Amino acid sequence: MRIVLLGSPGSGKGTQASCIEKEFGIPHISTGDIFRDNISRNTAIGAEAKKFIERGLLVPDSLTVSIVESRLLEEDCNEGFLLDGFPRNIAQAEALDKDLEKMGKKLDAVVNLEVSAETIIERMAGRRICSDCGESYNLCFLKPAADGICDKCGGKLYIREDDKPETVMNRLNVYKNQTFPLIDYYKGKGILISVNGEQPADKVYGDICRVLERFK
Ligand code: AMP
């Protein structure tokens, strides 16, 4: 099963992707996570990506596409994958199509999480991440049991640098101008499935599972 999870920053892609990965046994590939991991390990990729991420801009396609291309060639992707945060513009989508074609594969579905701009802004302000294990929480709908502390490992929760208000506005503009057109791109290919992402996370997940069952 080869799936793309589409949606604005803060639409709940990461939360849903972790659940889908477990249920359907396919690797969850998040370009944002790959960049953050490289930044924390001080790699050359991390240094390059950081310049763009901290301004809320897209990392250049050449770097992003090559990272995804090599990740998709890893053995655990043979039976499928779930892409989260990639593609983020038409050029990346076309590059993905070409790569899959070369491998004799194609996407089964693109799941679009529909969430209003007001909800997105509210959610991004509430997002907290564990500094130790990376688990994500949201003060609006997925609160930790104790304030500022990770339920899983007891680590301290922090606000992602790019979730700060000034960067959030840039990220939302980038989404509107560059990522939103992907909805029509995939609609045109007949593989877009939209899900109401305004519902509680477990309801959203239920809807996603129902549509993905047929690709199992
Ligand atoms: P995310 O965790 O998916 O919200 O990604 C965090 C940041 O990483 C984004 O705001 C971008 O700066 C960068 N990023 C993630 N995925 C991509 C992508 N497909 N293309 C370019 N930049 C990306």
Best probe residue, ligand 1, of 82, 88, 173 (max atoms within 8 Å of C-beta):
88
Q: What are phi and psi of 108, to 5 degrees?
A: -85, -45
For residue 99, what are the contacts with CB-CB under 8 A and spacing of at least 6? 68, 69, 72
- pLDDT above 80 for 97: yes
Best probe residue, ligand 1, of 59, 61, 65, 92 (max atoms within 8 Å of C-beta):
59
d(CA 184, CA 71): 26
In which band, very low, low, confident or very high, does the pLDDT at 15 lie, cut at 50, 70 and 90? confident
The pLDDT tens digits for 29-39 are 999 999 999 99
pLDDT score at 168:
85
pLDDT score at 140:
82
The pLDDT tens digits for 192-204 are 999 999 998 899 9
d(CA 176, CA 172): 6
Residue where the block lists tokens 């991440």: 129
User: CA gyration radius for the chain?
Assistant: 17
* % pLDDT > 90, the chain: 74
Residue 85 CB–ligand 1 contact under 6 Å: yes
Task: Report whether 131 contacts 157 (CB < 8 A).
Answer: yes
User: Would you list the domain boundaries of the chain?
Assistant: 2-116+178-215
In which band, very low, low, confident or very high, does the pLDDT at 148 lie, cut at 50, 70 and 90? very high
pTM of the model: 0.88
Q: Which of 2, 13, 36, 123 is catalytic?
A: 13
Q: Does domain 2-116+178-215 have CATH number 3.40.50.300?
A: yes
Phi-psi region at 148: left, alpha or beta (left = phi > 0; alpha = psi -120 to 50): left
For residues 152 and 122, the model is more confident at 152
